[in-house]
Amino acid sequence: MGWASAYIAKLQAGETVQFRPRGNSMQGRIESGQLCTVEPIHESVQVNDIVLCKAGGQQYLHIVKAIQGERFQIGNNKGHINGWVGRNAIYGRLIRVE
């Protein structure tokens, strides 16, 4: 169970969620503590989408950096790459930051 488990469960049930992530890995796109609204994925995931996902056993609100077929490379806004995930490890897409 990670920081986003409850939000992931709601997204899987078709609900849109809001939360305030903490940390600086997305600084410049999302500042620590800003209110983020994430909706379930209704269409295809694109490069530069910010997604709530699980990579390497950790939960992230990070960027899709590249796509190869059904694989998605996840990374933060500081140049770090978390790794490649399948579509089943992406739970929602960021639609608003306040």
Residue 76 has pLDDT above 90, yes or no: yes
Model pLDDT for residues 1-16, shown as the tens digit of each residue: 799 999 999 999 999 9
Q: Which residue range is the domain that position 65 belongs to?
A: 5-97
pTM summary value: 0.95
- Other CB atoms within 10 A of residue 65 CB: 17
Model pLDDT for residues 40-72, shown as the tens digit of each residue: 998 899 999 999 999 999 999 999 999 999 999
- SS3 letters for 51-66? EEEEECCEEEEEEEEE
Kindly provide the residue ranges of all beta strands, DSSP E only, lying in the chain, ordered along the sequence.
17-19, 36-40, 50-55, 58-68, 71-75, 81-86, 90-97
Number of domains comprising the chain? 1
Task: Supply the CATH number for residue 74's domain.
Answer: 2.10.109.10
